[in-house]
Amino acid sequence: MAPSPAPRRPLRTPPLKSLSAAALLGALLVAAGCASTGGLTPAGTALEADALASGRTFEAFAGSAAGFPELRWWSALGDPQLDALIDEALAGNPGLDTANARLRQAGARAGLADAQRRPTVGAGAQYSGLRIPSTVAPEPLGGEYSGVELIDLSFNHSFDFWGGKRAQWQAAIGQVRAAEADLQAARLMLSANVARTYVGLAQAFDALDVAEAERERAERLLELGEQRVAAGLDNRMQLRRAESAVASADEQAQAARQQVDAARNALAALLGQGPDRGLAVRRPALLQAPAPAIPDVLPSELLGHRPDVVAARWRVEAARHGIDASRAAFYPTVNLSAMVGLASAGLSDLFDSDAALVQGGPAISLPIFDGGRLRSQLDASDADYDLAVAGYNERLVASLREVADALQGARSLDARIAAATIARDAADDAWRIAVDRYRAGIGTQLDVLAAQQPLLQLDQLRAALRAQRLIACVDLDTALGGGLALQSPDTPLAATAD
């Protein structure tokens, strides 16, 4: 006859007094944790873009028809070779690999922070054996070997009552968004550097043209000087001056060729290639510089178009969540752990009902004295927030300055180019008059060559001014964010300091 099962013990309910005491103790611990954060708060205050006075500066350039640059803003310069070079640079420059790696790194850290919020479940199998010498313990413990087989399934979860783990995850997400914006900032800077270097290459070719024309003029002056000295009309001082002019023109031509080579080498490096790649870059076509104009939504809309400003804004958001995570560390932590399994001294008995093993329960903990570690951690988080706010404010002010510099520079250069063009036209008229007088027999070749010199100088000046004007156009498109709208935090800046 099978033995009757042993009577099951009734569950014991904790007395009400015990529950009340536990609740009171928990409340006191929470109050103690809250009190220890007193006196620590961030000091940084983020600037509002619209609060920065810029209306009078931008008024002459803003218009409802004007918009932010196109995504491929460099196409407005009108050179297909430049378009191809920037596409090649964006695909092959090794500097972008660093920004890509940092983005992947930030994403992995966000994944780790998210994993900390989730419960963990694990399984294991273990065998453990022990033999106690009989000299230590008498039989039956001593002198016998015994082993234990264990199969278990474990569960562990730390409840996020105060939102600390969620805040850590949100801070990590903010760093991911900042890394994404940093990548776009790197792409924008790379494309702008290619465009600036390409403009420099065009200017170097223009300078080479002027230098070669000046050398031809100087050689003709030298030839006439030799003839006049031979005829006794001039002394050798005039001849030496002509020889000096030829040598000076040679030096200018060599300098221009060196600038061409340097610009080609720089372009090859920006493309992520060796210097031989630069030799295949042809002379740039005649580039165009559109009139300076900005949308009338500045400066507030600048937040969504400047990748460096957006990145700085996300870092402020991440630092704010970092403060929340540091504050949550002052509160009690509640963990729940459980383990179920089978344990037996022999494998044949491992799956019997008597081999069941159950262990688990909640645990609560609160740091009471930690030597000031938590306060120092919160103080460091406040400082991180202040640093992020200072970086954001600095970027915002610098961004508006860059837009203003590009606009005012373009306007000034347009005026200088117009004045240089008037001067060049007048010099061209004077040269043509000298040519007509020479052909009519009432002027000399010396008059023609003398009238040609200011014409060449003004050609060189206009080439330099046109290059500066094109670079101002590149600077403006870069200052406006390069035509890419980025995701910016939704949290108002006034709330991030709370």
Model pLDDT for residues 369-404, shown as the tens digit of each residue? 777 888 888 889 889 999 999 999 999 889 888 988
Residue with tokens 């069941």: 356
Q: Distance between CA atoms of 12 and 65, rounded to whole angstroms?
A: 78
What percent of the chain shows pLDDT beyond 90?
Answer: 31
| More reliable by pLDDT, 477 or 128 | 477
Cβ–Cβ contacts within 10 Å for residue 329, how many?
A: 18
Residue 254, pLDDT > 70, answer: yes
CA quadruple 22, 27, 29, 30: dihedral sign: positive
pLDDT band at 8 (very low <50, low <70, confident <90, very high): very low
Q: Which residues contact 150 (CB under 8 A, 6 or more apart)?
A: 124, 125, 126, 127, 128, 341, 342, 343, 357
Distances (CA, A) of 306 to 35, 269, 344, 485: 41, 26, 66, 8
Of 100, 281, 260, nearest in space to 180 by CA: 100
Q: Which residues contact 89 (CB under 8 A, 6 or more apart)?
A: 190, 191, 194, 270, 271, 272
Mean pLDDT is highest, among 38-52, 336-350, 411-425, for 411-425
With a threshold of 0.85, does the pTM exceed it?
Answer: no
CB 140 within 8 A of CB 206: no
Residue 29: the pLDDT is 52
CB 480 within 8 A of CB 403: yes
Q: Which of the residue ranges 42-51, 161-170, 223-232, 251-260 would you say has the lowest mean pLDDT? A: 223-232
Residue 206: the pLDDT is 92
Structural domains in the chain?
43-117+162-331+373-495 (1.20.1600.10), 120-159+333-365 (2.20.200.10)
Residue 190: the pLDDT is 94
Angle between helices 164-230 and 307-328 (to 10 degrees): 150
Edge-to-edge strand order for the sheet containing 356-365?
120-131, 145-159, 333-344, 356-365
Residue 346: the pLDDT is 59
Distances (CA, A) of 111 to 108, 167, 200, 317, 318: 5, 13, 45, 18, 15
Q: How many CA atoms lie within 13 A of 295 on its CB side?
A: 16
pLDDT band at 228 (very low <50, low <70, confident <90, very high): low
Residue 472: the pLDDT is 93
Residue 235: the pLDDT is 61
Q: Which amino acid is at 304?
A: G
Model pLDDT for residues 14-33, shown as the tens digit of each residue? 454 444 555 555 554 554 54
Model pLDDT for residues 122-158, shown as the tens digit of each residue? 888 887 777 778 777 777 777 777 777 777 788 888 8
Residue 411 in 3-state DSSP? helix
- Partnered with residue 338 across adjacent β-strands are 155, 360
| More reliable by pLDDT, 217 or 236 | 217
Q: Distance between CA atoms of 222 and 449, rounded to whole angstroms?
A: 11
Q: Distance between CA atoms of 265 and 204, rounded to whole angstroms?
A: 13
Q: Distance between CA atoms of 202 and 402, rounded to whole angstroms?
A: 24
CB 125 within 8 A of CB 151: yes
Residue 115, pLDDT > 70, answer: yes
pLDDT band at 267 (very low <50, low <70, confident <90, very high): very high
Residue 9, pLDDT > 50, answer: no
Model pLDDT for residues 47-74, shown as the tens digit of each residue? 777 777 677 777 777 766 677 888 899 9
pLDDT band at 368 (very low <50, low <70, confident <90, very high): confident
CA angle 204, 82, 178 (to 5 degrees): 110
